Amino acid sequence: MSQINLIRTKPKEQSRCTCSNPLYSFSVCAQCKKVIYRKDKESETRRRTVVLSIEITRLLNEFQNIIEWYDGSKPEEFIPIRDEFIERVNGVVKEAFEKENKEIERREKEKKINKKREQIIEEIIKTENDYYQDIELIEKYYMPTLKKYMKEDGKKLEEKLKEIEEVSLEFNNILKNRKNIIEEIYQRIEKLNVYEEYFILYHKNVKTFESIRKNEEFESIRNKNKELRQLDIMDFLVKPIQRITKYPLFIREIKPLLVSIDTIELGSKIENKIQEVMKKQNENQRKYLSDEMIKEIEPRLSWKELGKNYSLSKSNVCLLLINEDLIITETIKTTNEITDKKEEFNCMLTFTDFLLFGRTKLLGKIKISKYIELANCTLDTTTCKINEVILFYRTISYTIQFSDVSEKAIWVTKFNEVPHNQLTKMPLCCDGESDDKPNNDKINTTSSNDIFNILNTFQPVSQPPPPIQKTEQTNQLNNGTNTPPLEQSEESIL
């Protein structure tokens, strides 16, 4: 819109627009021909109205002159004139009402946001009510009988469920009040710590829950009470674990609908706190599954090649996966050439910070042969076969061939989902020296040492040498300094 200069001067007598046949008539200064309006009626809206009127009048007068010269013999010539006129009028009107249009758009957007926020809050209130009622059902029907089987832990579990019930009720009341929801929740965020304590109790006693869920007494409780909806004790006890995973989803849905920067920051802090609680829950679950796998696998393990009897159950380690029926090929890279030793393993135990490679023997025994720290490893999943990965560990590479693609995908996911800590010493506890300890294969956990092989052992001259066997040795020290990787000959080693 072109600039219109509006002035506030006293109108002179007989001051009228001098246009011939004007469409509109305004008070103008007889001397400078500028529009005049009274100062006592001055307002921003009035100024914009006057400017709009002037612009529309100018456009009408301009196009009036064009139309007067149009003879009507060629209607198609009039179409561009018409379109230009419509476009310019629309532009002037849109600009004049831009402020009102923006305000209308802002209010419409705010209305949509409020509607969506209300829908989310209503959904949370409904699901939280259902969750609260389920906790009450545990206390009403299952807890009296459960305490007979769990003794001290039963009392602790009841206390934690009551605390969770109180947190849920308080959380729901905040939502129903609809006032300062994020601020109110943030002030009580530390109360979520009760979930961490509940998770510990749950995973500690999950075996007990599984054993009693089909107990006749609990079956009778489930079948007699319709309120339980045919859900057994385990179905109810897992609900706090399931519920905590829903809260971050609700926060993420609400965050884009928040306006205040402070409120958005509080929403992020609440989300981080919930994620922290969930992380501890995952750690507890991972530890429980690890303990179960260790109980199952440990009786099958033989540590003779590592020189000591290690104990997984007494060590502070977390077992993620057990993979058998693999083909693991080791390749050592030297400074001059690459030597493929053709040494293979068929079993792998994956921990959070290290791997154990072994070979399956008679009666299902697993002979552990290799210890590898994951912090020093890199993984290649692209330059190999579809069911293989290549693990690089310092100067050694291991090609791991899985039975199928899905087994590989599960292992790669487990490998990547847990950060691998840099170990300063071997995390395995030792029960004592092995009865059958070879003198050529020991583990030194100093991370700077290299792994190399010893192909032979020293034998007295009076005895015939036994068949040569290849074994692994992770490190050797030579007067306190690192010995470089060596490839031994088949004659002897001193």
Per-residue pLDDT at 6:
46
394: left (phi over 0), alpha (psi -120 to 50) or beta: left
> Residue 195 is inside which H or E element, if any?
helix 193-204
Per-residue pLDDT at 293:
87
Per-residue pLDDT at 347:
92
Does 154 score more than 80 pLDDT?
Answer: yes
Per-residue pLDDT at 357:
92
Segment 7-12 mean pLDDT: 45
Tokens of 486: 């060596």
Per-residue pLDDT at 104:
84
Nearest to 311 by CA among 297, 332, 329: 297
Residues paired with residue 355 on neighbouring β-strands, in sequence order? 350, 372
Tell me the C-alpha distance between 116 and 254, whole Å: 9
Arithmetic mean of pLDDT over the chain:
75
Does 79 score more than 60 pLDDT?
Answer: yes
Does 187 score more than 60 pLDDT?
Answer: yes
pLDDT range class, residue 313, cuts 50, 70, 90: confident
Segment 338-353 mean pLDDT: 78
pTM: 0.54
State the Cα torsion 282-287-293-295 to the nearest 10°.
-160
CA 223 to chain centre: 39
Segment 234-240 mean pLDDT: 90
Segment 192-198 mean pLDDT: 86
Nearest to 444 by CA among 422, 425, 430, 471: 425
CB 354 within 8 A of CB 423: yes
Tell me the C-alpha distance between 183 and 174, whole Å: 10
Share of the chain above pLDDT 90, in %: 7
Q: Indicate the length of the chain as a whole number.
A: 494
* Max mean pLDDT range (105-119, 389-403, 470-484): 389-403
**Domains of the chain from N-terminus onward:** 1-96 (no CATH), 114-293 (1.20.900.10), 303-482 (2.30.29.30)
State the Cα torsion 411-414-419-423 to the nearest 10°.
-60
pLDDT in tens, 372-410: 888 888 888 888 889 899 998 888 888 999 988 888 888
DSSP 22-71: -SS---B-TTT--BB--GGG--HHHHHHHHHHHHHHHHHHHHHHHHHT--
Segment 134-146 mean pLDDT: 89
Per-residue pLDDT at 449:
37
Buried b (16+ CB within 10 A) or exposed e, 206-218: beebeebeeeeeb
pLDDT range class, residue 13, cuts 50, 70, 90: very low
- The three-state secondary structure class of 302 is strand
Does 476 score more than 70 pLDDT?
Answer: no
CB 192 within 8 A of CB 155: no
- Among the residue ranges 162-166, 280-284, 325-329, the one predicted with the least confidence is 280-284
Nearest to 53 by CA among 17, 92, 7: 92
pLDDT range class, residue 130, cuts 50, 70, 90: very high
- Among the residue ranges 80-84, 376-380, 460-464, the one predicted with the least confidence is 460-464
CB 422 within 8 A of CB 455: no
Tell me the C-alpha distance between 118 and 372, whole Å: 54
pLDDT range class, residue 162, cuts 50, 70, 90: very high
* CA distances in angstroms from 67 to 79, 80, 113, listed in the order given: 12, 12, 49
pLDDT in tens, 14-51: 444 444 444 344 555 555 555 555 555 566 776 777 77
Segment 200-222 mean pLDDT: 85
Tell me the C-alpha distance between 258 and 484, whole Å: 61
